[in-house]
């Protein structure tokens, strides 16, 4: 990430989520009426101009995963709320819109959007430009992980470390060194039960087929160019075991096949998932 600028990949993710609203069939995998307006500018006309590029197979698979991972996370959060969860922490929030489009339905849920200060300033400016109000139960927590303590920043923002919390951590783990990833897992594993995290991760290269290897290679070239290199990959079975040894009692992997059955079955627009990026849920 370049100093003084928002995350390039946060921008790219938001653009692909907006593209899903404009290009793909109904029902949307993730119905997000704020995605286009929050991204701002001439989003709709720009996406139409880039239609040929955005409909390339690698971009279609990328945006499919972006919306599937958000939908799965929100589905898991809904179940956690039914069990009494009252705190939701969005790590690496980017231009996530959950807190704004679902404000009324989750008004008893305390929400904390955590992101690098540069990316957070960019988002707050976009919210203002789009005239999207900030719900009373939402707090923005700016954290530079190289300089700040997440626990201290959350507590200062009103987070209750003595109460369970649901954590979303999407589009982040593969840009960090392995020790930093497990430091985050250890932090959440020490939260009171039944705290939960849903996160995505990059599959170890030895487990990829040729198509997925090409997708990862293309992504690596792009992220390297913008100073956000891919660093960490996992073997799912090993990751599940390590999470359990860290302190999580229930660890569930959502395979691409399972995600396809849940969210893509019966669609006519041909959206599909790449095996290189996968999802996992872990409950304390």
Angstrom CA distances, 240 to 52, 170, 253, 278, stand at 39, 17, 8, 13
CATH of the domain at 71: 3.40.50.150
pLDDT value for 148: 85
Instruction: Give the pLDDT band of residue 146 (cuts 50, 70, 90).
Output: confident
What pTM value is reported for the model?
0.94
Q: Is residue 2 part of a domain?
A: no
Q: Is residue 95 part of a domain?
A: yes
Q: Is residue 3 part of a domain?
A: no
Tens of pLDDT along 250-273?
999 999 999 999 999 999 999 999
Number of domains in the chain: 1
What is the biggest distance separating any 2 CA atoms in the chain, rounded to whole angstroms? Answer: 50
Select the more confidently predicted residue: 128 or 5: 128
Domain span at residue 96 reads: 8-283
pLDDT value for 204: 93
Q: For residue 195, which of 155, 156, 168 has the smallest C-alpha distance?
A: 168
pLDDT value for 221: 85
* pLDDT greater than 80 at residue 93: yes
Q: Is residue 1 part of a domain?
A: no
Q: DSSP readout, 102-153?
A: TTTTTTTSEEEEEE-HHHHHHHHHHHHHTTPPPPTTEEEEE--TTTS-HHHH
């Amino acid at each position: 990430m370049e100093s003084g600028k928002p995350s390039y990949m946060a921008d790219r993710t938001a653009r692909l989520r907006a593209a899903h609203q404009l290009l793909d069939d109904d029902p949307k995998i993730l119905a997000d009426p704020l995605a286009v307006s929050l991204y701002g500018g001439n989003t709709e006309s720009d996406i139409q101009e880039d239609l040929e590029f955005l409909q390339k197979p690698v971009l279609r698979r990328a945006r499919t995963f972006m919306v599937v991972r958000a939908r799965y996370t929100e589905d898991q959060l809904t179940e956690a709320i039914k069990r009494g969860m009252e705190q939701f922490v969005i790590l690496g929030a980017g231009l996530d819109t959950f807190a704004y489009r679902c404000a009324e339905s989750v008004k008893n849920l305390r929400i904390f959007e955590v992101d690098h200060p540069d990316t957070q300033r960019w988002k707050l400016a976009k919210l203002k430009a789009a005239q999207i109000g900030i719900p009373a139960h939402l707090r923005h927590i700016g954290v530079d992980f190289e300089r700040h303590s997440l626990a201290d920043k959350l507590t200062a923002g009103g987070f209750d470390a003595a109460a369970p919390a649901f954590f979303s951590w999407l589009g982040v783990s593969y840009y960090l060194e392995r020790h930093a990833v497990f430091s985050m897992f250890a932090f959440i594993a020490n939260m009171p039960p039944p705290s939960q995290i849903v996160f995505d991760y990059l599959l170890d290269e030895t487990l990829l087929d040729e198509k997925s290897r090409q997708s990862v290679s293309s992504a690596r070239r792009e992220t390297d160019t913008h100073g956000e290199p891919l660093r960490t990959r996992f073997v799912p079975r090993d990751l599940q075991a390590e999470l359990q040894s860290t302190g999580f009692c229930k660890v569930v992997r959502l395979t691409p096949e399972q995600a396809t059955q849940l969210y893509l079955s019966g669609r006519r627009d041909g959206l599909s998932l790449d095996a290189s990026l996968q999802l996992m849920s872990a409950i304390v």
